Structure 1
């Protein structure tokens, strides 16, 4: 057993489990509170085009690209991760509130960009805080992470229950997000201490900014995983940016609430993740997740609100496979693969690959694609739109299947350098 496993508690105390679960709940409640309905809000309230909607969604990619620097520089070297998490969320609460008060796209974009620069690093921080307390993350983490999914579900149900989509009151989603962010900002200071592992260490400029995690890419195994993570997020951007608009244009009532079916599925698969990883291994699990994205888009493309409505429902329910089998499994793989001194930076690195570079490219592509299929009635030809990301997802899956060779980890005592 490695020295790293020995310094983690063998069991998780109930109070610790409660705090970590509440942290995950609020982290994803805040995100789901406004991001799911973003496209509908911008189109209906601010008259935004598809390209502008993608530009607004692109702010999360810019934030994710900056995230490794924030996490690697601050959380890995100078300040405890939970305190960094608290400060970021308190500041973010102000900006997301201001975003909802903007009356035109320009001010909205500025506030959203500032918010995402603060928010996206917190995705890596909550993972680092959780993993720091777990002796066996592969088995224990899904039971903590599932509360993030529940938080996202609750946000969608509140929006549907209060009728904010049909009532034209989606600006209230930003108020809800601001309140949740402020609560998490306060809670963070009561989370377990996660001290910087690299505190007091001297190193190169690259190490100072957390770029030592890039040394993981020297392994072919992790390099292929990293490239695949970037590429699969290109088609993924279509889902995040336009699914809610697609459902509303198709005449689906309470679309945000219906989308929460995906998170219910996500929660169920999260609880099954320890079994699935032991049964399939990382390669098969990740590959199934990629192929599920392609299938989902085909179902969206040919489904409708009539006799084929079941295809839309199945496409939404597939979210558990799409998200858990790739993103959650990828986070666990990263924690297992990275040596302890760069573990937080490694989580920031994979967040940059997925929510950053991949979604940035995907947002730049998806907006013009959606604009290219505007109909004369002002809607969109969704079948043609969805088949494009479906094809992209299948191509990425083939690339991953051919080139990835599963490697358990690097030796904990072996540092990685760039």
Structure 2
């Protein structure tokens, strides 16, 4: 791969995740503080990610794979996204804000698959080259959080009260316009299935349903959906929680989670080889339990270290379960239905699982809302901690340990 192409793909990844991290992390805090949204309304806003994940396969399967170059669709979607993000910036209440965030997530979620497709098409050896490009996405997410907290201080208490978090949407609107224009200069990535007939079963990954006949994969599939319920609590409530309890630079502090994610990804092959798939997944589930207990009993004073450790556990929480799950799915599916199996897992987790999770998180947040507008965070965090613990116990009982093939581990 030429250095110029590597630079283009790395820039694309950086902007792709700078945009997402630049508004999604602080969304809950903004809605609660500036649009006076309820927990249920906040859940509706976050659930747009799930609706986007559910609709994304149709956009990719019906349009991107058959009619237009991927880089052109990417450019068009991000230019439209720039307009929608600006409209979110200009919205004065939740009723006007919601249609724009829903529309935006429906067009943004397909871009996650598009940037991968564009990257893979240009690579001679994706297994070795992709991680070096994808890491710039993590860097983009981290940089967006540091810009919000340390450069502009939009999440500082006085700035939050003044509505400065609104500027995050303007910032990423500009970034989306830049990526939209930049996309048209990317190397050409023609449609992969041009001229082929469209099958709904292929788009939805229904061929992979045959994997559910196996007890282990069925148990893994169900656990993946269930563990997304506590995951949704983190996405929806972590930034509002850290802001409300008084942690300094909460958005910048949350980037510790992305740094941890990158570091633990390097340790994943070791855990697979040493402890096996089942123990690795159980470690990920246990990390969710510990994280939420730390959030429940930590504070921004003498126990602030508990909050920092809770954030830092993100690497184990995400990598040891979700990345491990992708590898497990890949090893079980085989080459014929590999893409269908990954699509099915994505639909089940980021679609169905997170959709349920955001709703539950919103209901629990409203249940423990104090008369003065603050929250009983101890009780809120106990709920996902207990739920994750229950999923962990069920998985440990019903999932029989099995070894993955050596090639799957080496390809992490």
Query: Do the structures match in fold with TM over 0.5?
Result: yes
Alignment of 1:329-344 (within 5 A): 329-335=324-330, 337-338=332-333
**Given the two structures, how large is their TM-score scaled by the length of structure 2?**
0.86
1:170 to 152, 165, 168: 165
Matched, 1:121 2:117: no
Write out per-residue CA displacement over residues 112-159 of structure 1, whole angstroms, 9 at most, x where no aligned residue: 000010111222333344455567666654433322221111011010
2:139 to 147, 150, 157: 150
- Hey, which bits of structure 1, 4+ residues long, moved more than 6 A? none
Structure 2: tracts of 5 or more residues without a match: 406-412
Seen in structure 2, the aligned counterparts of structure 1 residues 271 and 407 have a Cα distance that, compared at 3 Å, is: closer
Structure 1 CA distance, aligned partners of 2:119 and 2:208? 19
Structure 1: tracts of 5 or more residues without a match: 1-11, 410-418
Residue number in structure 2 paired with 1:352: 347
Report deviation, 1:18: 2.9
Residue number in structure 2 paired with 1:314: 309
- Aligned residue for 2:235, secondary structure, equals helix
Q: Is the 8 A contact 2:277 2:404 kept in 1?
A: no
Matched, 1:236 2:231: yes
Seen in structure 2, the aligned counterparts of structure 1 residues 363 and 275 have a Cα distance that, compared at 3 Å, is: same
Single out whichever of 102-111 and 116-125 deviates more from structure 2. 116-125
Seen in structure 2, the aligned counterparts of structure 1 residues 94 and 297 have a Cα distance that, compared at 3 Å, is: same
Single out whichever of 339-348 and 42-51 deviates more from structure 2. 339-348
Seen in structure 2, the aligned counterparts of structure 1 residues 208 and 261 have a Cα distance that, compared at 3 Å, is: closer
Write out per-residue CA displacement over residues 59-105 of structure 1, whole angstroms, 9 at most, x where no aligned residue: 11111111222223233444443333332222222111111111010
Matched, 1:403 2:387: no
Structure 2 CA distance, aligned partners of 1:181 and 1:220? 44
Q: Is the 8 A contact 1:69 1:210 kept in 2?
A: no
Residue number in structure 1 paired with 2:409: none
Matched, 1:180 2:175: yes
Report deviation, 1:306: 1.9
Write out per-residue CA displacement over residues 391-410 of structure 1, whole angstroms, 9 at most, x where no aligned residue: 1112222333332665759x
Matched, 1:293 2:288: yes
Alignment of 1:360-375 (within 5 A): 360-375=355-370
- Aligned residue for 2:390, secondary structure, equals helix
Seen in structure 2, the aligned counterparts of structure 1 residues 344 and 88 have a Cα distance that, compared at 3 Å, is: farther
Structure 2 CA distance, aligned partners of 1:76 and 1:163? 42
Report deviation, 1:387: 0.9
Report deviation, 1:237: 0.9
Seen in structure 2, the aligned counterparts of structure 1 residues 222 and 147 have a Cα distance that, compared at 3 Å, is: farther
Write out per-residue CA displacement over residues 16-40 of structure 1, whole angstroms, 9 at most, x where no aligned residue: 4333332222221111101111111
Q: Is the 8 A contact 1:234 1:359 kept in 2?
A: yes
Structure 2 CA distance, aligned partners of 1:209 and 1:305? 45
Alignment of 1:6-405 (within 5 A): 12-132=1-121, 140-161=129-150, 162-166=152-156, 167=159, 168-202=163-197, 204-207=199-202, 211-214=206-209, 216-218=211-213, 220-335=215-330, 337-338=332-333, 346-401=341-396, 402-403=398-399
Seen in structure 2, the aligned counterparts of structure 1 residues 348 and 204 have a Cα distance that, compared at 3 Å, is: closer
Single out whichever of 200-209 and 322-331 deviates more from structure 2. 200-209
Q: Is the 8 A contact 1:146 1:270 kept in 2?
A: no
Q: Is the 8 A contact 1:85 1:122 kept in 2?
A: yes
RMSD of aligned alpha carbons:
2.8
- Aligned residue for 2:164, secondary structure, equals coil
Write out per-residue CA displacement over residues 330-373 of structure 1, whole angstroms, 9 at most, x where no aligned residue: 34444555555665555443332222111110111111111111
Single out whichever of 119-128 and 358-367 deviates more from structure 2. 119-128
Report deviation, 1:209: 6.1
**Given the two structures, how large is their TM-score scaled by the length of structure 1?**
0.85
Single out whichever of 19-28 and 187-196 deviates more from structure 2. 187-196
